[in-house]
Amino acid sequence: MDDATLLAQFEDCTLPELSHRDHVRLVFLYARQGRAYDRVREGLIAYTASRGSSSAFHETRTWAWAELVIAAAAGFDGDFDAFWMRHPEFDRRDLLDDYYSDILRSDAARTTVLQPDLRPL
């Protein structure tokens, strides 16, 4: 799926499935537009609600992943496939465990942004 189609289907909540790689790709694409966190946050809230699973949205995970991807994408000139190859750590769904203890699984982390407690992002 090309970038424009992914963004359009995400924004209108018609994307059939949202994989981990797609999450990272969306942040990467929005980072290039200078509005990554807000767009991904708003989009994920709408997308999960459209699927009847609003409780799947996680504030801290969304923020932390956005912070990591935005920082890595800064100054990167290649496409997403090149970015993904350059940053294999982003394939690790458990990457945030390097930064957060069990607080990441708390109700507070689900509803508000918590700063990492193991090491900075």
- Scored b (16 or more CB within 10 A) or e, 40-73 reads bbebbebbbeeeeeeeebbbbbbbbbbbbbbebb
Per-residue pLDDT of the chain (121 residues), as tens digits, is 999 999 999 999 999 999 999 999 999 999 999 889 999 999 999 999 999 988 899 999 999 999 999 999 999 999 999 999 999 999 999 999 999 999 999 999 999 999 999 999 9
Tell me the residue type at 19. S
Vertex 38 angle, CA 66 and 47, to 5°: 90
Task: Return the residue matching tokens 């807000």.
Answer: 38
Are 116 and 64 within 8 A, CB to CB?
A: yes
Which pLDDT belongs to residue 35?
85
